[in-house]
Structure 1
Amino acid sequence: MSFTLAIVGRPNVGKSTLFNRLVGKRLALVDDTPGVTRDLREGDARLGDLRFVVIDSAGLELAEDDSLQGRMRRLTERAVEEADVCLFLIDARVGVTPADEIFADILRKKNAHVILAANKAEGNAGAAGALEAWSLGLGEPIALSAEHGQGLDDLYDILQPLADGFAARNVAQMPEVDVDLPEDLDEDAPIRMPTEARPLQLAVIGRPNAGKSTLINKILGEDRLLTGPEAGITRDAISVTKTFMGTPMRIWDTAGMRKKARVSDKLEKLSVADGLRAVRFAEVVVVLLDVNIPFEVQDLRIADFAETEGRAVVVAANKWDLEEEKTEKLKELRENFERLLPQLRGAPLVTVSAKTGKGLDRLHNAILKAYEVWNRRISTAKLNNWLGAMTEAHPPPAPGGRRIKLRYITQAKTRPPGFVIKATHTDQIPESYSRYLVNGLRADFDMPGTPIRLYFRDQGSTNPYKERKKSIPSRLTKHVEAKKHAARKDKGLPSKPKG
């Protein structure tokens, strides 16, 4: 990536629509309601042969206090300072507003490369606003239509010489490093542990105001995500890449998930759907609880959703610094966890404080442990020895007097671990016996907490003719046999030839 481009402007001028256009995906939430975007979202953009990082920001507000709008503005101003190029959008159909003039003065002081663009300029309705943009003193404005993709060639013509300059700068600043590769390096070997090229995908989910954004900010060591006492601040599923205690991770911050019956607003539905999509992308999911009100019905549903999706699950109880009776509370948490989430029996349960950062080392170790178990593979020989011992200790039932035989087991997949058992009468194996085998796999092969998938396949008989139906002689065959019998009888021969 040669440079970063930050898209800024007033609320509802089309920043997220242009962001989605440049990255080629519907990553950012888009709605007619002003102020949908609150956090900074990054994406890999393509424009012709240019490759760069584009940043979607919250709408610039006039507030400068500690209100939600004020915190959103400070976050956007920080993105402007760190970006190489700033693309300032105005609404061509509205024209230049007093707020646009104030923000233009701010951008002239904060960023050396500012590009002015008048969005929604398609048709005659936006022509006057595009001409009026000259008054901002930021040079010639680009007439854009993010919705229809118009004007992107003009944006390319401006970015091309800037990209060349940034590329030359990056090459000059790049240090020379000698890398000695081991002689026995196997390039085809699968990557088992997270690397810079393939970081561990981690999603943090939970109810509103559980402290998800605050926890991620503490992991990052900076105020990268918008936080505050208000519930439901996060709307987009924001991903950031960070090396967390030596482990490369891509961490997803998600919107708080309330009960489905309470989610009536269209924007909240989009936010929850974006968070669920992040869970499907993740490898490990941290279910964050509020220690003051843990294991509510919604917490259980969120944890069950992560297990159903086959993700490795870590349960973290936040705001531990506010708890006074820590020993008794921890005992209560563990008992409720075992009782209310039996499908995640043995999953890591850690206590953290997102505000102080205490317990992050335990959280890191639990994430790595869950990830390792999620990727674990067991040899077929060990599995079949285990299956023999399990069936000997507790034989399968014999419904209707027909004995069920478990003949063979092998591991078919990982992430999560999946096993296939060849057996007879698989349609009559009760769910209780399947749970008995799954619990045995967890205990005997040290796979606590991770989802385990067990599939039964009907082995049947080895006789290839068992299912073949006996042929029924046709009327024609019977007639021919009768004529042969009569002919032999006329000749004085026995009805059937000997031998």
Structure 2
Amino acid sequence: MDMPTVAIVGRPNVGKSTLFNRLVGKKLALVDDRPGVTRDRREGDVAFGGLHFRVIDTAGLEESDAATLMGRMRMQTEAAILAADVVLFVIDARAGVLPADQPFAELVRRAGCPVILIANKAEGGTGLAGAYEAFTLGLGDPIPFSAEHGEGLGELHEALKGVLPKSDPDDDDEDEDAPGGRSLKVAIVGRPNAGKSTLINRMLGEDRLLVGPEAGITRDSISLDWEWRGRKIKLHDTAGMRRRARIDDKLEKLAVSDGLRAVRFAEVVVVLLDATIPFEKQDLTIIDLVESEGRAVVIGLNKWDLVADQPGLLKQLREDCTRLLPQVRGVAVVPLSGLAGEGLDKLMQAVVQASEVWDKRISTSRINDWLSEATSRNPPPAVSGRRIKIRYATQVKSRPPHFALFGNQLNALPKSYTRYLVNGLREAFELPGTPIRLSLRTSQNPFDKG
């Protein structure tokens, strides 16, 4: 069977070629800040987390006379759209939706093939407002993305997996209907020498990974297939993560960036701590990184057999976790020993449960019933004599749960109140330990006096 085709389209200079290079894994496309650098269709083969397809980088869509160079570039792009199985429609999230985006969104819609809307240049949340504007294009939910930094790759992979025709009949790893269903992607991360490879060897029941007392033996991210209680698991062992300032070796820098990539592709990330020296600053930084990437988190306290004789220690460490990591309040903290093979079943139960919470969808009516009660119990404050009013809330996506609030003056809502709302959502809808995203959408109507 021929490989399916994915076309990248959008206005000039929205980052199409950077996305192309990111997918192909090589700098095949010329990238520059000047618009219009790509003039022809450029093609490359992509192997992307079990998906195989051909990607086409196209010239920027512009309204031009067919006889001009710009017009011929546009015709090439239209031809690519018609030939594609899937279209990635890219906008610049920082610039938001521009009038020029609308006619091309209509062109893509008329082509009749699945469209994935990518709000590029949204790194660090800077372009989220533009990403939500993209809803107005009528092309479905936008994926906040950064082709430059690789943010949003996991979400893009999920979206492509849902719409791409299957290219390799032998690859049943991602087959939803296969026995055991789709593989759950789990990354094991932590500081160097936390015992990640020893734990995975114990899970697999064989010495599959090189281990030893020296820190930093694992140099790259290794993917392994496993099964737990009939559930297919894809395990990613990663190199130990340490602060950049401590990394001098170029190979280790590459290994750490590979570990970050494994986090972005994972659905659940097990952050392995050394129970004899838990919650070091570097541990907290790694958990913070996993949360900022929007992945489900489970904390494993490895080498527990060395401290199990200390009464009350587990209770104390769970209290420390709540205090030090409020952004993942309620996260599962599981004592285990990779060397002795203790606690692995409880760890995997926590992993599966975390993935279910991460994937949870809540109906809009339930959210608004909760919102009405939450705002009655603790009303938003007033700004310049005018009370902030939250009118409506909905869940815009899962993986992780992401909610949007609509109302007036929400940009003036204090951080303490948004924290109150996030904690309320976590408690009311049983969302322990998972990252929760909250977007505030203020009414644009100047006559809306609340």
Q: Which range, TM-score by smaller chain?
A: 0.5 to 0.7
1:262 aligns with 2:233: no
C-alpha distance 338-45 of structure 1, shift in aligned 2 (>3 A)? closer
Match of 2:349 in 1: 365
Q: Is the contact between residue 194 and residue 249 of structure 1 (CA under 8 Å) also seen in structure 2?
A: no
Q: In 1, Cα distance between the equivalents of 2:263 and 2:355?
A: 15
Residues 153-186 of structure 1: CA distance to partner in whole angstroms, max 9, x if unpaired?
xxxxxxxxxxxxxxxxx9xxxxxxxxxxxxxxxx
**Cα 1:326–1:195 shift into 2, 3 Å:** farther
Which residue of 404, 408, 422 maps to 1:438? 422
* 2:332 is aligned with 1:348: yes
Which aligned pairs between 1:33-52 and structure 2 lie closer than 5 A? none
Q: Which residue of 1 aligns with 2:79?
A: none
Q: How does 1:124-273 map to 2 (within 5 A)?
A: 196=180, 198-273=182-257
CA distance in 1 between counterparts of 2:351 and 2:250 reads 33
> Greater Rg, structure 1 or structure 2?
1
Q: Is 1:284 the counterpart of 2:268 in the alignment? A: yes
- Deviations along 1:244-263, one digit per CA (max 9) or x if unpaired, are 23221111000001222111
Separation in 1, partners of 2:383, 2:347:
46
Query: 5+ residue gaps in structure 2?
Result: 1-23, 27-48, 53-169
Q: Distance in 2 between matches of 1:357 and 1:312?
A: 23
**Partner SS for 2:207:** coil
Paired with 1:299 and 1:44, the residues of 2 have a C-alpha distance of 30
Shift of 1:459: 2.5
Maintained 8 Å contact 1:318/1:354: yes
SS of aligned partner of 1:249:
strand
Residues 332 and 195 of structure 1: is their aligned pair in 2 closer, same or farther, counting only changes over 3 Å? farther
Give the AA of the match of 1:235.
R
Do the aligned residues in 2 keep the contact of 1:280 with 1:309 (CA within 8 Å)?
Answer: yes
Alignment of 1:316-327 (within 5 A): 316-327=300-311
Could you say if the C-alpha distance between residues 256 and 194 of structure 1 is closer, same or farther in structure 2, counting changes exceeding 3 Å? farther
Which residue of structure 2 lines up, in the alignment, with residue 473 of structure 1?
none
Residue 293 of structure 1 is aligned with which of 277, 282, 286? 277
Q: Pick closer, same or farther for the CA change 1:237–1:380 going to 2, 3 Å.
A: same
Counterpart of 1:392 in structure 2 is: 376
* d(CA) in 2 for partners of 1:45, 1:380: 33
TM-score calculated relative to the size of structure 2? 0.60
Q: Quick one: which amino acid aligns to residue 265 of structure 1?
A: D
Structure 1 position 324, deviation (Å): 4.0
Aligned residues: percent identity? 56
Residue pair 1:397, 1:403 contacting (<8 A) in 2 also = yes
- Is the 1:194–1:247 Cα contact (8 Å) retained in structure 2? no
TM-superposed CA distance for 1:194, in Å, is 10
Conserved? CA contact 2:223–2:237, under 8 Å: yes
* 1:39-78 superposed matches below 5 A: none
Any idea what the Cα deviations from partners look like across 1:86-144, whole Å, max 9, x if unmatched? Answer: xxxxxxxxxxxxxxxxxxxxxxxxxxxxxxxxxxxxxxxxxxxxxxxxxxxxxxxxxxx
CA distance in 2, matches of 1:453, 1:436: 13
Give CA-to-partner distance per residue, 1:303-336, whole Å, 9 cap, x none: 0000000000000100011124343221221121
1:303 counterpart (259, 268, 287): 287
Distance 1:259 1:203 in 2: 19
The alignment of Structure 1 onto Structure 2 pairs a total of residues equal to 284
Do 1:194 and 1:248's aligned partners in 2 also have CA atoms closer than 8 Å?
no
Question: TM-score scaled to structure 1, two decimals?
Answer: 0.54
- Residue 71 of structure 2 aligns with which residue? none
Indicate conservation of the 8 Å contact 2:271/2:287, yes or no: yes
> Is this contact kept in 2: 1:245–1:364, CA < 8 A?
no
What is the CA–CA distance in structure 2 between the aligned matches of 1:406 and 1:386, rounded to whole Å? 12
Aligned residues of 1:284 and 1:314 also touching (Cα < 8 A): yes
Aligned AA for 1:202? Answer: V
| CA displacement, residues 432-475 of structure 1 (integer Å, 9 cap, x when unaligned) | 110000000001110011001011111354959x9xxxxxxxxx
Q: Once superposed, what is the RMSD of the aligned Cα atoms?
A: 2.6
Any idea what SS the aligned residue of 1:412 has? strand
